[in-house]
A = this chain, B = another copy of it.
Amino acid sequence: MEAKPIRVNVEELTSFCQRAFKKYGFNEKDANTVTDVLLAADLYGIDTHGSQRLEMYRQQIKKGFIHVENQPSVAFETPVSAVVDGNRSMGHVVGKYAMEIAIEKAKKSGIGMVSVRNSNHYGIASFYSKMACEEGLIGVSMTNSFPAVVPTFGRRPMMGTNPIAVSIPAEPVDFNFDVATSVVAFGKVEVRNKKGIELPVGWGVNQDGKDALDAQNLIDCIFDRTGGLNTLGGATQLFGSHKGFGFSLIVEYLTGVLSSGITSNHSEEGGVSGICHYFMAIDPKLFGDPESIKTHWSKYLEEVRTSEKAYQQDRIYIHGEKEEEQHQDRIKNGVPILPKTIDEMKNLAKQLDIDFGINLPK
C-alpha cells in the first residue's frame, strides 16, 4: 500500500526551506529566491521539482557543481539581448537574475532575450516565464540539462529533457505552458519504476537501441549514457519523433550555443554541470493594444475550452488551469508530502542543526 501524503502548511514549509538553504551557505536573498522557485513547484503540483529536491541540491553543492557564494554576471549585452554567465552559482538565482534583465529590456525596447551559460539546475521552467507574464509580458523560458534524451534513430543521450515554458497573459487564468521536449519527463519513468509498471513502447531506448520497457533499466541506461528517453513524438516518425527532436535541438541552440556555453551532451564534464538557459520577454504592445490582444486571446481560449469533447471526456484543459487549481488548493490545505520525505526533512534539520518547525497533524 502506498503511504498517504501529509498536508504541510505552506508558510512553515517555506521557512524550513529558507533555513536549510541559508545553512547550505546561501545569503538570505538567495536562500529566499531558491525557496520561492521550489515552493512554486510544490504549489502548482509539480512535486518532482519542489521542496523534496532539498537533498539533491545539497549533493550538487558537495560535488562542486553549485558554488553557493558565487553570483551571475552579464558577459555581453545589447538593448534587446544579453549573455549572462552563471559563474556556477545556483540555477534559481541565475534564472531570476537573467529573467529580470529580459523583463527590463522588454520594458525599454519591447523585447529582451537572454542566453545563459555556466549555470545549474533551475527548477521549473515556468517560474521564470510567469515572472514576465505577471508584468503583462509574454514570457519564455528554456533550459538544457544533463543528457537524457536520444535523437530520432539514435541511442546515446545527446540532449537534455530541454523544457520549453511560454506564459501569456489571459483571463481568467494566464496561459502557462511548460513541457519537456522529451516524450515524458524523467520523473514519470521514476514513478513507474517505484510502482513496478512496465513502460509503454515509445518512451525510451535501451542499451541495445531497442524499446526500453523496464523502468529501472532505462534509468540505469540514462546514467550510463547507453540509452535514454525519446523525444516528443516517440521513437519513430509515425507519430512525429523528428518533431520533438527538432524542438529539443532548438533548445540546445538557444541555451548552450548562443550563450557560448555547452550543449547537454557535455554537461557534467570536468566537475562542472554547465547547464545553460534561455529567457525571453516580449511586450505585446509591439503589436497593438495589449488589452485588446489579451481580450482576444482569452476569448479564443474560452472557445477552445468550451468546444465539443471527445468520447468520455468532460473537460478540455488550457495550459495553466490545472496548476492554478492545485495552487488554490495547496495554499488553503497545505502541500502534500510523503511521510518518507517528511522523515528525510526531519533528518536534514538534525544534520544541519536547524529548527524543523513544521507542525504535523497528530
Contacts and interface: CB of A to CB of B under 8 A. Distances in A.
Interface of A: 76, 78-81, 83, 109-111, 113, 115, 150-156, 158-159, 166, 168, 175, 177, 179, 181, 183-184, 200, 202, 205, 208-210, 232-235, 238-240, 242-247, 249-250, 252-253, 256-260, 263, 265, 282, 284, 286-288, 292-293, 296-297, 300-301, 303-304, 307-313, 315-319
A81 B253 contact: no
B242 A319 contact: yes
Taking chain A's interface residues, is the majority helix, strand, or loop, or is none over half, making it mixed? mixed
Given A81-B287, A153-B313, 18 more contacts: A80-B111, A111-B111, A113-B286, A151-B304, A151-B307, A153-B317, A155-B307, A155-B310, A166-B250, A179-B246, A181-B243, A209-B310, A232-B240, A232-B244, A249-B304, A249-B319, A253-B297, A260-B288
Contacts of A158: 303-304, 307
24 contacts: A78-B110, A80-B109, A81-B286, A113-B282, A150-B310, A151-B304, A152-B317, A153-B315, A153-B316, A154-B313, A154-B316, A155-B310, A158-B303, A158-B304, A159-B304, A177-B249, A205-B310, A209-B308, A232-B233, A232-B243, A235-B310, A247-B247, A257-B297, A263-B300
Contact of A179 (B240, B303, B304): B240
Contacts of A312: 209
Q: For A110, A177, A184, A257, which residue has the most chain B Cβ atoms within 10 angstroms? A: A257
A79 B286 CA distance: 9
Given A249-B319, A265-B303, A297-B253, A179 B242 contact: yes
B286 A209 contact: no
Contacts of A83: 287-288
A311 B208 contact: yes
Contacts of A247: 247
Contacts of A202: 239
Nearest to A259: B287
B76 A287 contact: yes
A48 to B, nearest CB: 16
A246 B249 CA distance: 18
Contact of A80 (B177, B233, B286, B319): B286
A108 to B, nearest CB: 11
Nearest to A238: B200
Nearest to A289: B260
Nearest to A308: B156
A246 B183 contact: no
Contacts of A303: 158, 263, 265
B243 A179 contact: yes
Nearest to A318: B249
A296 B256 CA distance: 9
Nearest to A150: B310
Given A154-B304, A258-B293, A308-B156, A232 B235 contact: no
